[in-house]
Amino acid sequence: QETTSDSEPGNTECTADDFKSPEEALLKHNRLAVGVTCGDTDPSNKDSHKSEPVLISNSQEHKLVANGTGFHPAATEGVALESRKTVDVVNLSVSCTATCLPFSSVLKETPAMVGFSAKQAVFPITRQPLGSFGVVSSNSDEMDEETNERMLNFYQAKEKFKKEMKIEGFLYSDVSVLASDIPYFPPEEEEENLEDGIHLVVCVHGLDGNSADLRLVKTFIELGLPGGKLDFLMSERNQTDTFADFDTMTDRLLDEIIQHIQLYNLSISRISFIGHSLGNVIIRSVLTRPRFRYYLNKLHTFLSLSGPHLGTLYNNSTLVSTGLWLMQKLKKSGSLLQLTFRDNADLRKCFLYQLSQKTGLQYFKNVVLVASPQDRYVPFHSARIEMCKNALKDRHAGPVYAEMINNLLQPLIGAKDCTLIRHNVFHALPNTANTLIGRAAHIAVLDSELFLEKFFLVAGLNYFK
């Protein structure tokens, strides 16, 4: 079992096998029928590390239905909540090269085109090779032998890594199939049949953000699911004033959604929300409004990118906490006041606590929480909606914190068709001031093409099909 508390990875019981020989590793691999991981598998080849490695850990919770990814169920117990309906998956990449991307950079033998030699003719970008999830075939015995040797070395290193880190679950490279095998740029696009309605995806930016913040998220979803009848609403109504209180920003977003549907006379079959940071709280607030009640049965996926669902009450970064306090004073920000539970002396009358008591999340088919321990702007446990050590020690606010977690998660447990998925993301970040204060990881979920492409190809696209 793995606790959902804010504990160190080393405190988690390890279930990975420590293979005694490369042959056993390969045999185990074949028996599991899992895929090939990304990157250069030769640990000594340091020159190949040109792309930044992205480490992702996933845990899927609450009645997860098997979707062909080979995930195995396991139990997870929380501090404030316990559920048997849990699956835990861990996705980590040891090293990353250009082959992490879906376009293979390996030259293959292809028929010569007019004006080009056979060596110059590479696969067109309209095709999506297996890349890191499959071995590139070759007629050369030497290349096959080298590939097999490198794969054996990699599996040994991977199992050793899992044992040392005491990680329970699977690496993302163990997923045998991609979330989508549709080419990025199909040569012939079929005409969309809109009789069944379209899938409206509402993207909401965070504090001091704008409508272009989630442009890469939109791009990779559209590339991965061409012809998916998707219509994106990149919210811009709050971008001129994100320091207002949540009620004001909720009204703006709700008006924007309804006006968008009416203006374009859209026939909606599904509605999904993608939020970053503070935008996730605005989304949850919209779900509670009576005017949105008509669309509750159409909700499909809620993708939360570093969302402060439990506020910033137990932020470990003194520097960030001080900065937010100063910003709140200078901007007279109602939203920052509400995120820090200083909008009312009684914690149970604060905005975030009262929001946790209202229904909303259980209407989604998928609730996906993406969090990073490197993010110091939004506490890791707040983005994952789980208990933390400081809350356990706090006799005053701790019980209120636990009540909020139960208020949010209990309806998800009771819902029949709702799935809760948690993704933990680790980025390879440069040693800069932004990394030190935690801002780099906070915005990396928006501007890291390597992470976004890998995330959506491995799992993310499944939530929007």
| Cα dihedral across residues 96, 97, 99, 101: positive or negative | positive
Percent share of the chain, pLDDT over 70:
67
pLDDT(137) > 80: no
Confidence at residue 124, expressed as pLDDT on a 0 to 100 scale: 40
For residue 374, the SS3 value is: coil
* CA 352 distance to own-chain centroid: 23
Confidence at residue 42, expressed as pLDDT on a 0 to 100 scale: 42
Closest CA to 417 of 370, 459, 361: 361
Question: What is the DSSP code (8-state) at residue 54?
Answer: E
172-190: per-residue pLDDT in tens? Answer: 777 778 888 788 877 665 5
Residue with tokens 């009576």: 290
Average pLDDT, the chain: 76
Question: What is the DSSP code (8-state) at residue 73?
Answer: B
Residue 42 burial class via C-beta count within 10 angstroms: exposed 0-12, middle 13-18, buried 19 and up: middle
Closest CA to 449 of 41, 98, 65: 98
371-399: per-residue pLDDT in tens? Answer: 999 999 999 999 999 999 999 999 999 99
| Cα dihedral across residues 391, 395, 400, 403: positive or negative | positive
CA gap 456, 454 in Å, rounded: 6
195 confidence band (pLDDT: 50, 70, 90) = low
326-369: per-residue pLDDT in tens? Answer: 887 887 889 999 999 999 999 999 999 999 999 999 999 999 99
Contacts of 275 (CB under 8 A, 6+ apart): 203, 204, 206, 282, 283, 302, 303, 304, 305, 307
Q: Which domains does the chain have, with CATH numbers?
A: 23-48+103-177 (no CATH), 198-464 (3.40.50.1820)
CA 405, 406, 410 angle in degrees (round to 5)?
125
